[in-house]
Structure 1
Amino acid sequence: MLWAMELRSLEYFVAVADERSFTRAAQLCHVTQSTISAQISGLEKQLGEPLFDRSGREVGLTEGGQVLLPYARRCLAAAADARAEFSARAGLERGELRIGTGGGVEHTAIPELLGRLHRERPGIDIHLVEATSGPLLDLLLQGRLHAAVIARPVEALPPTVTAAPLFTGRLVAAFDPAVYRLDEPVSLAELAGHPVISYPTTSALRTRLDAAARDQGVTLAVNYVANDVRLQTAFAREGVGVAVSLGADPALGDLRGLAVRSISPAVPIEKILVWRTDIVACAPLRAFLALWNEWSTDDERRSA
């Protein structure tokens, strides 16, 4: 029966699903493989169908396993948050903060705030995930992250998600001036005539760029895809294309022979901190948001 399901069984199920191996899952959970296998077999018996396809070299999820996986993740995340909440009520401040971020935030307050949280709340474990904006927002909505730093997407955020501004910037073009003759500013129509180096389609920065190009009636040929601006500029130095990158990214501080031009029309970018408001914020997230609010107030005072 579903209500008799144990969290430990779900923990082992998620580990096998992520590792695609009973052996690696057992190592991850610090138990024997036979223990993992017995728990999974018991779970399959409870649910009345197999959860894994064991016929290949790697273990794969069956249709039933794919259905269970998001529920299992949410159950485990909720249990962890509940433990953290009751630790906070007892004055112990334990638990974990699961936060995601993309690249280009090295110069922002995020590293400083996570460092403060680590020093001032040593009982809170910080788990940082790096990805592009689209996957990070999905992880937040699935309950696998408490908060994330993303580029604001073209479409509106879901109503269950709130956002706070981190910084704004614009996309710029970086290129080898010996290979490409581009005036200031570079039009999107002109960029459409050259190979482009830019972000993957899962990045909100790329979504903004593509939307701006469509508005101008052009299509950009993004031949080289990299989320790391250091790699984008490395390709640009080889003369293989024009890098279109976030101008505020620290990697553009090291140009070494590259020219940088603004883009016309401008493609504005806003980096934001997002978290869900349809559920009660767990104690570790509240601790982080308290530091965030303190920083935001100080930043506003400095800017006044």
Structure 2
Amino acid sequence: MSQQIRGLERELGEALFYREPRSVRLSPAGEALLPHARAALSAVAAAQAEFAARSGLLTGDLGVGTVDGAHITALPDVLGAFHRRYPGVSVRLVSGTSGPLLSQVRTGALDAAVVARPRQSPDDLEFRTLLRDEIVAVVPHDHPAVEAGRISLAALADTPLIGYGSDSGLRPHLEEAFDTAGAAFRPAYTANDVALQIALAAAGAGIALTPAAEVVGDSVTAVALSPAIPYEKALAWRRTPAPAAPLRAFLALHEEAGR
């Protein structure tokens, strides 16, 4: 391998590594080559998977990004069925927030990702809805809004809020809804961890704005917002190039399950 690397360095005219007595690290030339090397390896793996699929024995890798709350979608069930049908495919799950995960889908670092669907779906990505939900206010049981059964966004303007950070896919939904209601969205606490949001609300730190489907806990109540803030969790993948065999098989299995 060392000889092959040195041969490549001679061909490129630059050293790819700094070789130190007890370590080896990439040089600037190595850093520049790295994404191209990864793309080449990915292309080889995709070709191998494609021909394995033609022979009826699917192999290869499937990289899927997941945001918080992906566990309440159909993803776990579909991945379970996928493993039983295609045990030769290695599945890699990567946790994160919607923006960075979509960037990895665009570069090919991930095959697909479960994200909060953007308000305006970008043209370079395909989306398939996994869950339709809405954001609710999470308050202690004795909060006045519980009896009313609903709370307006305007009424929340001067209330300490617990919401999502700027890197969350749900943050734009909240900002747009508050702006339309004539109020500014300025959370006192930001956290992308729903369990932490709910714990803060239970402790009296403020009102948490949280997906309805994820509200659990004996010490809090979910109250509807007015106007409602709907959103979708969706599976996203690149339009081009065409999905590799493992992703095609996963999408077909998801559609087959009617989810």
Q: Per the alignment, in what secondary structure is the counterpart of residue 210 of structure 2?
A: strand
Structure 2 partner of 1:172? 136
Residue 279, structure 1, aligned to residue 241, structure 2: yes
Q: How does 1:3-22 map to 2 (within 5 A)?
A: none
Q: For 1:220-264, what per-residue CA distance to the aligned partner results, in whole angstroms no more than 9, with x for missing partners?
A: 222322222111111111111211111112xx1x32121221111
Please state which structure has a larger fraction of its residues in helix: 1
Structure 2 partner of 1:82? 47
Structure 1 partner of 2:72? 107
Residue 92, structure 1, aligned to residue 57, structure 2: yes
Distance 1:60 1:192 in 2: 52
Distance 1:293 1:168 in 2: 17
Residue 141, structure 1, aligned to residue 103, structure 2: no
Using structure 1 for the length normalisation, give the TM-score. Answer: 0.74
Contact preservation (8 Å) 2:152, 2:227: yes
CA shift, 1:62, in A, is: 6.9
CA shift, 1:48, in A, is: 4.6
Cα distance 1:41–1:187, how it changes in 2: closer, same or farther (>3 A)? farther
CA shift, 1:75, in A, is: 2.4
Amino acid at match of 1:132: T
CA shift, 1:197, in A, is: 1.5
CA shift, 1:41, in A, is: 6.8
Q: How does 1:218-297 map to 2 (within 5 A)?
A: 218-249=183-214, 252=215, 254-296=216-258
Distance 2:24 2:189 in 1: 33
Q: Structure 2: where are the runs of 5+ without partners?
A: none
CA shift, 1:279, in A, is: 1.1
The percentage of counterpart residues that share the same residue type is 43
Cα distance 1:52–1:134, how it changes in 2: closer, same or farther (>3 A)? farther
Q: How does 1:20-39 map to 2 (within 5 A)?
A: none
Cα distance 1:262–1:48, how it changes in 2: closer, same or farther (>3 A)? farther
CA shift, 1:61, in A, is: 7.2
Contact preservation (8 Å) 2:50, 2:244: yes
Contact preservation (8 Å) 1:154, 1:204: no
Q: Per the alignment, in what secondary structure is the counterpart of residue 176 of structure 2?
A: helix
Please state which structure has a larger fraction of its residues in strand: 2
Cα distance 1:283–1:219, how it changes in 2: closer, same or farther (>3 A)? same
Q: Structure 1: where are the runs of 5+ without partners?
A: 1-7, 9-34, 300-304
CA shift, 1:39, in A, is: 7.2
Matched positions, count = 255
Higher-RCO chain (CA-CA 8 Å, sequence separation at least 6): 2
Cα distance 1:217–1:51, how it changes in 2: closer, same or farther (>3 A)? farther
Distance 2:33 2:183 in 1: 43
Q: For 1:192-218, what per-residue CA distance to the aligned partner results, in whole angstroms no more than 9, with x for missing partners?
A: 212221222222111111121122232
Distance 2:73 2:40 in 1: 33
Cα distance 1:111–1:50, how it changes in 2: closer, same or farther (>3 A)? same
Distance 2:191 2:164 in 1: 5
Cα distance 1:187–1:93, how it changes in 2: closer, same or farther (>3 A)? same
Amino acid at match of 2:238: R
Structure 2 partner of 1:188? 153
Q: For 1:281-303, what per-residue CA distance to the aligned partner results, in whole angstroms no more than 9, with x for missing partners?
A: 2111121111111012xx5xxxx
Q: Per the alignment, in what secondary structure is the counterpart of residue 102 of structure 2?
A: helix
Q: Per the alignment, in what secondary structure is the counterpart of residue 170 of structure 2?
A: helix
Contact preservation (8 Å) 1:70, 1:142: no
Using structure 2 for the length normalisation, give the TM-score. Answer: 0.86
CA shift, 1:111, in A, is: 0.5
Cα distance 1:261–1:89, how it changes in 2: closer, same or farther (>3 A)? same
